[in-house]
Structure formats: C-alpha cells, structure tokens
Structure 1
C-alpha cells in the first residue's frame, strides 16, 4: 500500500541499500509455486477465496456450453500459481509494501493445464515520498507458461520503505468499523444483487463511453476471508506450518539452491513472520499499518472480478493495471465499480473497450483504482 507517514522513520534507506537492490536487476529468482496445475480443486479454492462464483470457473455443466468447452480459471489465478512478489536485496529494517500491478493476459488457463512460473527483478527506481522520505520501488516480473507457451505476465510493483519504529508509523491504528444493522443488510443485499454477464454476449457495437460497470461488494473483511484467500493463493514460501517453516528457514539461511530468493532473506527468517500483519492486528501495528489488512494481490483479484462480471464469457480480459492507494483493514468493505472510458480498435485484439474501476470503502475513501482493456466480441455478418 502507499507509504503515507506521520513522521520520519528511524532507519533511513542508504545509498548502499539502493545500490544493493539495483544489483539484482535482471537476476532470476527462485520461486516456490503454490499451485502447479489448474485442477478442479485449485480453481475452485481460488475462486472461493476471492469471492467470485462465476459458473465459468466453477461448473462443468455450464462451462461445457461456452466457447471454451471446459472450465477456465479466473484471470488472476496466476497469483495462485506464484504470487509474483519479487523484491530482492532488501536489508534488515526495510519493509516491502505492495503498490500496484500490471497484468498481461495472453490467454485463459484451462482446467487441467500445468503452469510454470519464472520471476526476476525487472527494474529498481528511487523516488522521494511527500511525507515518507526516500523510497525504492522494485518492479518484479513473473512470466507464466503452459509448456513453452507464455500465457501471462505479471509485473508487481513493491515499494521498499524504512520500517516504522519508535512510535513513528505509516498509518495510525484504526479500530474495525462498526456497522448498523441497516448497513449490514445493505451490504448483504448488494452482494446478492451482483450481476454476472455470462453467456449474454456483450458485442462491441453495443458498448459506449460512459457505460456503467456494475459494482461488486467485498466485505466486511475478516479473518475467515483472509484464510479463504490464502487457501487459494497462499503467497510466498514462508506461509507454512511451523515445522516446515523452520526447515525452510534453514534452507534460506544455508543458501540451499531450492530455497526461495524472490524476497530478501529477512522476509523468510524473521520471527514473527512479517506477513502475519495480514491476519494479526498487533503485528500490523508493529510494521506501521492501521490494523490487520488485506493482501495486494487479493485487491487486484477483486478489481478483475468486477471487470469479468461485466464483460461476459465471449470477451477476453487483455490487461489490467491496478494502483493500491490505501490499506483495507479488518472490518472494511469495498464497493468496486466504474465505467467504460474508451472504445477503440487494436491490431492484435480487434474491438476493445477500456474500463476504469475504483474501490471505495465505507468511509468514502478511494482505496484502489484500475484500468482494464477488454477485447469484445464483434457482431457476425448476416
């Protein structure tokens, strides 16, 4: 998330820190995949984890009637294969925070296909935050293959900031939001009213700038939701039972060739595990977050969910660019919707629509923005 601060962190990022991170540009990372196959179970677990019950992902009887002839995985299932978190060379005291992602979808992943991930640091760049001082952004690129075919590319942008300490933090603590019974019922009704376009083909000639992209509602965020998400896309190789985590830590410490290197060693060696902030409020506060908070890839998946609902089965999601502006903490609800902002033709994809969507939380704060490109079906000549 963005690194808005209330003071200058005790540790500063040094020239040596920056030079070391830049030394990893172009270097391949050892990644440990969560899923290797788009199986019945892995697709279902991921779809449930992101709260997306599109029958194209979940029902064989439905999917067999579509142009695919079989179930396919949600586009962001790529994160279930490998979370694409790449931020190498971070020294002790530097915190990695998900800033955004740019995803390029070459084609859907079909039921039964085996997927392989390859990751490396593509770029490292410095900037100065308005309130947070010196920052380093790392862009990690992860390529996904079925056999030798490139089926998707994810570029996750990670901002590396000096970890909060001494009472100075990126965000002030915030208690979970308390909803009235009426607000709870409104959220429930909105979830049940979610519209999935499905087999009602959205032809290019019917799409215009300003068309509304209906909302999906996510939340209120809670521990079970986070657990369900991690069941589908566990994240880095540090998310393991304590016994296997100890063994993995030993592999990292000893430089075992099988040990993950996509993040700095401290990420895998720290106790308590840094990413417990996604589930535990005390750990979240310790790293300067307002409370236990959602996962950046999870937020990307929610934005994609809104777009795939709108576009239907006969369109293709070509790309998705997401910027995360504020953390979502336990108790938060996100209303995600938008509109068509451009209609155009592309040499590679034919008739396309650019769709812009935003996530607004229950406090009226815009937490996330995204721009998607969708390749639309064209009306056949009679």
Structure 2
C-alpha cells in the first residue's frame, strides 16, 4: 500500500486534471455493483421508504395493478440504488481513471431525464463517462475541479430508463480545513419547533389515484409543503439500507475491508483510534467532517434530490410521469437541520405532443436558506390528449446502449463457454 503522506496528501495533482480532461466524451460499462443488482418488490419499497416515501405505487406489490402502469413501479431515482455489473472491453491505458488520491469530493447538483419505469424483474446496467472538466477557485476549499459526469442506465433489454448528469466537486481537504468557511451552530429544536413540523407531516397529502388533469392546472399553483428532518444519523443509515451507497459494500474492518484498502487505499483514512475507516463517513462522523472543513456531519445531496422528487410525485398522482428534474445543492444540510420542501407551477405547455407542466422547487432549512433550488417537468394526463405518453430515447443514445449491451452479452457468453 502506498505511503499516505507521499501519495494521499489531499492536494489536486496536475496529472489527474489532465487525465480527467482526456476522458471527456468516452463512455465505459460500469463494472461495480450497487447494493441491489436487480429490481424486486422489496428493493423498490426499501429505496422509497429510505427517503421517507410511502407511495403505494412504489411500496405495494398489488396497488399498481389498477393504475395505468398495470403493476408496481420504482421511484423515479431508483438508478441510485440498482446496478448489475456490465461486462465491457478493458479501458485503454491512456483512458484510465484519474486517481485524485486523498481529495474530497461532493455532489453539487444533478440533472435527471426519465424515459421509462423500472419494474420488478428488471435488471439495470450502467455506462458512464465525463462530459466536462472545469477548474475553479472556491471560498470553501480553494482550488477545486468540477467534473460533470453522465450515467446512462438501461434495463436487460437495452432500453434506456434514465440519464443522470452529476456535478462532482473535487476539493483539497487540507485547504478546506484551513479555511473553515462554514461556521454553523448545531440546530436545537424546541417542543414548539417539533410540533410545527409534526403539523406539516400531518397535513401532507398524496394525490394517488385521483388524476391531476392538465386542464385543471394553472401557473401559480402550489406544491406542498412537505417536511424533512431534523436530519439524524438514523436517516443516513436508513437511506443506505434503502440501497444508496457508492461505498464498496463492506465493513470498515475485516477481510473484505482489507481487500478494499488494497484496491482503493486513498478511500480509507484513519480515525481517532488509528483505524482506517471510509472517507465517506463525513456523512455520519462529525469529527471527521470537521477535518475536511465542514462544521459537522451532513447529508448526501442526492438524498435531497429524492426529497424533491417525493414532493413532485405526491402532487402529480399515479397517472403522471416525471420527465426531468434538475437541482443545485448550494448549501450543506447538517445533522439536526430540517427542511420544508415546496414548489410552484411556473408554466404549462405542449411539448412534443405531450401536455406538460414546468415546476420550480425549493428546500428551505430552519435558517431560511434554500439549500436545493430545483426545477422539474411533469407530463400530466389530459382530457383532450389522453393518457401520458413516455418520451422517446434519442436515437444515438439508444444505439449506444444497444451496442454496449450486445458486447456485454457476447463477453458473458464467452465466459460461460
């Protein structure tokens, strides 16, 4: 294993930035598994409940039979939790991944395009690559590298189900720690504060089986509110249990951890007891979060993406389809923070023959900060135009998916022979 001081000093290396730029426009099969490798009634339910969504369309095996979908379907952002390793040709040596050893990274925004539902029995495969690389000075961490990465997820029939673009910021840990830009007092909630949140929870309503007709929606209509939080370590644990990961799924110690440390040494940083533990523990270990410049542990940006989609799917009802969602993660969501998530209809129109509405969304914490401004576009059923039609996958993207799936099947057959 390489020496921590020499190779993992937490600074951004010029060779890593140059290598990242070389990768732009190249896409490769994702060979790592998520917690779930296929859709199952339990995995769909657990993922939804992992961010607090009890919509029976996602959580009940039987409910969906009476909807336009004719069965249970997955929550919109299920691609965060399901991936079966995809076989593909080896990367050329000149297109290896940049190491960015010991450099902290976090999500600052996502864009989702959703093409078709994921159903029990489906498997999901992913191919991904870099779209852009940008260097920028940050008040939080000094020199940063912003990478825009595209993840295309398809089912076992090579049908694209979603495209997610994730904006990842790579930041120097030492610089972030030394600047200490974020000084935040831990949130403390009175009985009255909690009672107000309980009032929002009690008033939340899901549209469900009652169609939200396009003709009945007007610009200015409100969505929500729904409440989320106060954030606890338990919330992080349950979100992981629902399927979200990206940590190699292994304990922090023992044989599996030993193998992971040999493979991705820079992902493990010693804790106060001198034990190598995952750098990802910034999301539940406040002492470690302070070492990377944050005042305390904080959530995952994609958890708030799920909260935003929860607001939208509660509002739109069973017969609608979330076409797109785009968010900016502008502030950290710290342990003890709570959010009130709301939205507004800003436009209604016909897009490619589909009646759609455009939404503006926000998640405001107890400090009055909108930490995750977002937009979404929803296709609604229409009395004039009929049921929702799913969007078409662009031809070039469908062809790319078909080629990669064909190669996956060829390699799989060869391995069996």
TM class, shorter-chain normalised? 0.7 to 0.9
Q: Distance in 1 between matches of 2:176 and 2:23?
A: 31
Q: CA deviation at 1:93?
A: 4.0
* Cα pair 2:269 2:279 within 8 Å, conserved: no
Structure 1, residues 312-348: CA drift from partner, whole Å, max 9, x if none? 111100011011000101100011101011211111x
* Cα pair 2:10 2:104 within 8 Å, conserved: no
* Cα pair 2:38 2:83 within 8 Å, conserved: no
1:246 correspondence with 2:258: yes
Q: Distance in 2 between matches of 1:111 and 1:52?
A: 18
1:352 correspondence with 2:337: no
1:103 aligned residue: 112
2:381 aligned residue: 377
Number of aligned residues: 357
Secondary structure at the aligned position of 1:179 is classed as: coil
2:133 aligned residue: 124
Pick closer, same or farther for the CA change 1:80–1:20 going to 2, 3 Å: same
1:333 correspondence with 2:342: no
Q: Which has the larger radius of gyration?
A: 2
* Cα pair 1:346 1:352 within 8 Å, conserved: yes
Higher helix share: 2
Q: Distance in 2 between matches of 1:125 and 1:211?
A: 38
Q: Distance in 2 between matches of 1:289 and 1:95?
A: 12
Q: Distance in 2 between matches of 1:227 and 1:24?
A: 34
- Structure 2: 5+ residue stretches without partners: 1-8, 85-95, 271-275, 387-417
2:366 aligned residue: 362
Q: CA deviation at 1:19?
A: 1.0
Pick closer, same or farther for the CA change 1:69–1:166 going to 2, 3 Å: closer
Structure 1, residues 284-338: CA drift from partner, whole Å, max 9, x if none? 1111112111011111111111111111111100011011000101100011101
Secondary structure at the aligned position of 1:272 is classed as: strand
Q: Distance in 1 between matches of 2:114 and 2:180?
A: 33
1:222 correspondence with 2:232: yes
1:3 aligned residue: none
1:57 correspondence with 2:58: yes
Secondary structure at the aligned position of 1:81 is classed as: coil
Q: CA deviation at 1:182?
A: 0.9
Structure 1, residues 18-65: CA drift from partner, whole Å, max 9, x if none? 213223332525432221221121111111110001111112342221
Q: Distance in 1 between matches of 2:66 and 2:298?
A: 39
1:202 pairs, out of 212, 215, 219, with: 212
1:140 correspondence with 2:139: no
* Cα pair 2:209 2:318 within 8 Å, conserved: yes
Structure 1, residues 162-187: CA drift from partner, whole Å, max 9, x if none? 21359514543534311110111111
TM-score (norm: length of structure 1):
0.87
* Cα pair 2:176 2:292 within 8 Å, conserved: no
Pick closer, same or farther for the CA change 1:60–1:91 going to 2, 3 Å: closer
Secondary structure at the aligned position of 1:110 is classed as: coil
* Cα pair 1:314 1:377 within 8 Å, conserved: yes
The 5-angstrom pairing of residues 272-287 of structure 1 reads 272-287=277-292
* Larger CA deviation: 70-79 vs 24-33: 24-33
Secondary structure at the aligned position of 2:78 is classed as: helix
TM-score (norm: length of structure 2):
0.80
Structure 1, residues 82-125: CA drift from partner, whole Å, max 9, x if none? 59xxx952433422111100111001111222222222223212
Secondary structure at the aligned position of 1:53 is classed as: coil
Q: Distance in 1 between matches of 2:344 and 2:246?
A: 34
* Cα pair 2:11 2:174 within 8 Å, conserved: no
- Structure 1: 5+ residue stretches without partners: 1-9, 254-264
* Larger CA deviation: 138-147 vs 330-339: 138-147
Q: Distance in 2 between matches of 1:52 and 1:339?
A: 20
Secondary structure at the aligned position of 1:164 is classed as: helix
Q: Distance in 1 between matches of 2:97 and 2:202?
A: 42
* Cα pair 2:247 2:280 within 8 Å, conserved: no
Pick closer, same or farther for the CA change 1:36–1:183 going to 2, 3 Å: same
* Cα pair 1:21 1:90 within 8 Å, conserved: no
1:320 aligned residue: 325
1:75 correspondence with 2:76: yes
Secondary structure at the aligned position of 1:199 is classed as: coil
Where relative contact order (Cα < 8 A, 6+ residues apart) is larger, the structure is 1
